[in-house]
Structure 1
């Protein structure tokens, strides 16, 4: 994928909703934890919440925004942490990426280990409740 400031023209881009008006804080975390680069940030009319942010993480796009409860119905509101999904990063060194994320504030849930499918693989949870898996090939040659 080539680096396009407007974002990808194909593919799938995760778009995360961050609760408690912490999207700006989340951007800082993703920069520290995963080496993200910020591509765009748009503040809402209230001057406080982010209505859109676009990051690049390891060559892929990640979008996020603050929560806007005034625009969602009761079925969309959930008081618990995000669940049912995992964001996966395929990287060159799973141990180094994992350690950097934990140092930045992620919670270690499954330290990297050698897996039967041929990856060094681990999982962690970021400060906003999102689960991330990090993997790198065991056979790099």
Structure 2
């Protein structure tokens, strides 16, 4: 296994979320597909529950079926959950951990993600030798930022 890529689900605001992350991390979307882009010939088995022939609710055709934003050697991916599917309840069961290449990069990304969110632990030198902080962004996603000179 080379890399683990997180896949995030949102209740209809994936485009807003990923445009925010794009403004923080830069780059371009490697993929952006909307529900309306599913080919008419796609079957429910191919498209998945809640898509195309399975019935995307009226007014949700422009929702994000799949989006991918490369960040370093990883890809952050996501989708909208349509209103006819179980809705997402963001919990605290997962955090996305970022490893910065410098203290300056760690501070820049941490502060950008914290805008409108909540800082649990500000960036600081830790007893194990790293520069580290934790936050929950304005979309309810938990992030851990780390800068280490040890690896």
TM-score (norm 2): 0.71
Name which of 95, 100, 116 aligns with 2:112: 100
**Offset at residue 112 of structure 1 (A):** 0.5
Structure-1 residue corresponding to 2:82: 68
Name which of 15, 20, 24 aligns with 1:33: 24
Assess if the C-alpha contact under 8 Å between 2:124 and 2:133 holds in 1.
Answer: yes
Structure-1 residue corresponding to 2:64: 50
Aligned counterparts of 1:82 and 1:68: Cα–Cα separation in 2: 19
Q: Cα RMSD between the aligned structures?
A: 2.3
**Offset at residue 11 of structure 1 (A):** 2.3
Structure-2 residue corresponding to 1:116: 127
Alignment map for 1:15-30 (pairs within 5 Å): 15-19=7-11, 21-30=12-21
**Offset at residue 140 of structure 1 (A):** 7.1
Aligned length: 125
- Corresponding position: 1:90 with 2:79: no
Structure 2, unmatched stretches of 5+, are 37-59
**Offset at residue 69 of structure 1 (A):** 4.7
TM-score (norm 1): 0.76
